[in-house]
Amino acid sequence: MSDSFLDHIPSYEREKIRKRMRSPEEYERLREKVKGPEDLEREMKKSEQMAEAHFRIETEPETAERLHDRIAKDLKERGVEAVLENADVSESVKVALEKGNFGVSVETHPKTHEDVLVVLPEGNIQDKLPVKPVQSEHYIQSLLVV
């Protein structure tokens, strides 16, 4: 018979854990983490779209160029703040982005760890500037429709 880690904890500590796990606040917090079928379906659809976009960007140069041109146009017309999540970039990077000196890819977001559309400024490959979720969704939809 194997021992659980709870068997090695003093009884007063076990009781504290049990009370905390039975509290309404803890129940509500755990319930928030549980995803329903609608959430899972939405996530799967988004993941499929991102995978399809990534595949097209990597394998179809004209698709990547078309996406690059749309983002470059928006950066030039509307500015970095309207397109990118983090507009806190150096002036030289901002100018390069507005001139169209960047690459486009699908990468993992540094904070959420989800696949997102990113802009890669030329010169410093380590800079991955995520596109705003609303803009990203708009670009992906237009990419997959055409």
| Number of domains forming the structure of the chain | 1
| Within a domain: 14 | no
Give 44-88 pLDDT, tens digit per residue: 998 899 999 999 999 999 989 999 999 999 988 888 888 888 777
DSSP string, 44-63: HHHHHHHHHHHHHHHH-HHH
| Within a domain: 8 | no
| Within a domain: 3 | no
The stretch 105-109 carries a mean pLDDT of 86
Statement: the pTM of the whole predicted model exceeds 0.85 = no
Could you tell me the residue range of the domain that residue 53 belongs to? 37-145
| Within a domain: 66 | yes
| Within a domain: 107 | yes
Both tokens of 12, joined, read: 């007063």
| Residues contacting 129, CB < 8 A, separation 6+ | 84, 85, 86, 89, 97, 118, 119, 120, 121
| Within a domain: 13 | no
Strands 129-130 and 115-121: antiparallel
